[in-house]
Structure 1
Amino acid sequence: MWSQAIRYLILPGWQGSPAEHWQSHWQNCLPNASRVEQTDWEYPERQAWVNELEHCIAASDVPPVLIAHSLGCITVAHWAAQAAPATLNKVRGALLVAPADVERMECPPSLRSFAPIPRQTLPFASLLIGSDSDPAATPLRALELARCWGAEAGILAGAGHINVKSGHHRWEQGFAHLFRLQSLIEQRARRRA
């Protein structure tokens, strides 16, 4: 799985992923991995975030696997809802970790421009990993988003928002989900062959 033929695009959520976050660890240890850098991590603007993702995907000479966390997951959904078919076809798959429910009542005001959340099925293999103790999305909401997006879903017990605050620094166990996504990508490719 750790192949130079695979490009990984890391999509942090609100406030970015600091050096001790698992996304930063993964970026450092996965070959051919890079981060989608946003201009403003504190006050995100939906279209700016979508445009930067579009730019990174279009510039990639290798079809990427997206690894999104929190608001990064919602950015993927918005991007997929408006991207051209040729660009959509460049994405191999997406690992969507702890999606932030930007439609919830207690959502921070700076994230509300990302509502409503697109409900279209993602046209590539996807795996959504949520938590039964995530303050940003209930497990039922995470499962609902997975169903809408056509993603396989898994709910972790007591994992919080799957970030530094919840103790997920290196999150080596998360690589099992990346392996599962790779399996889903390969199954999809076989069905289309």
Structure 2
Amino acid sequence: MQVAPSIVLVLPGWQGSGPGHWQSRWETRHGYQRVEQHDWLRPLRGDWTARLEEVILAQRRPVLVAAHSLGCILTAWWAAHSRHTDRVAGALLVAPPDIERYDNRQQIPGWAPVARQRLPFRSILVASSDDPFGSLEGASRLAADWGADFVSLGPKGHINADSGLGDWEEGHVLLLSLVPAEDAA
């Protein structure tokens, strides 16, 4: 399979992504770069945003973002505040949690409200019909707010290692569909 000419940055969510997670498997298989955060257990929105900005500014080529869970919320927050959004060619946003829901807000304080502005780059939001951290309807509303194409996978839980996706080729195809036409040649 063709590898994107852009740099692919992997943005895990709360607690990071373990070795069986599709994000970790993509890192190993395709050489993608994880955005390492200082504290995966107590995520601070400002710290995570500053780290994402730092990593994006260090790249010499356009960036594709492969975000999962809280990484999706981070991507939207970063895009609402950065002056460097032109460095992102596209974003695959997978299983965004409803961070404004009471139980999620209690576990991960300081992330609500969600930045809901239209993203200034192409994006695809992928959601599951039985995600314990957010509803399909809520994910669909986020996709509309962000101007993202919306893909429902059906019942796949939180679209993580427990979902049994392995290398998740379908998701990788979606990611590569975000490569700008001039770069895909």
Matches within 5 A, 1:171-190: 171-182=168-179, 185-186=180-181
Matches within 5 A, 1:125-136: 125-136=122-133
SS at match of 1:61: coil
Q: Deviations over 1:153-180 (max 9, x none)?
A: 0111111100112223322232232233
Alpha-carbon distance between aligned partners in 2 of 1:6 and 1:119, rounded to the nearest angstrom:
26
Q: Give the alignment's Cα RMSD to 1 decimal.
A: 1.6
Aligned to 1:120: 117
Aligned-partner residue type, residue 186 of structure 1 = A
Assess if the C-alpha contact under 8 Å between 1:88 and 1:123 holds in 2: yes
Alpha-carbon distance between aligned partners in 1 of 2:105 and 2:16, rounded to the nearest angstrom:
15
Matches within 5 A, 1:68-147: 68-84=67-83, 87-107=84-104, 109-147=106-144
Which residue, 149, 167, 171 being the options, matches 1:170? 167
TM-score, normalization by structure 2: 0.93
Q: Deviations over 1:99-123 (max 9, x none)?
A: 1110012215241211000011000
Q: Percent identity?
A: 43
Q: Deviations over 1:62-114 (max 9, x none)?
A: 11100000000000011001001xx1101000000001110012215241211
The answer to whether the aligner puts 1:160 opposite 2:157 as a matched pair is yes
The answer to whether the aligner puts 1:23 opposite 2:23 as a matched pair is yes
Aligned to 2:11: 11
TM-score, normalization by structure 1: 0.89
Q: Deviations over 1:125-176 (max 9, x none)?
A: 0000001011111000000000000000011111110011222332223223
Structure 1 residue 20: deviation in Å? Answer: 1.2
Alpha-carbon distance between aligned partners in 1 of 2:123 and 2:129, rounded to the nearest angstrom:
20
Assess if the C-alpha contact under 8 Å between 1:43 and 1:110 holds in 2: no
Structure 1 residue 19: deviation in Å? Answer: 1.1
Q: Which runs of 5+ in 1 are unaligned?
A: none
Q: Which runs of 4+ in 1 moved over 4 A?
A: none
Structure 1 residue 186: deviation in Å? Answer: 3.2
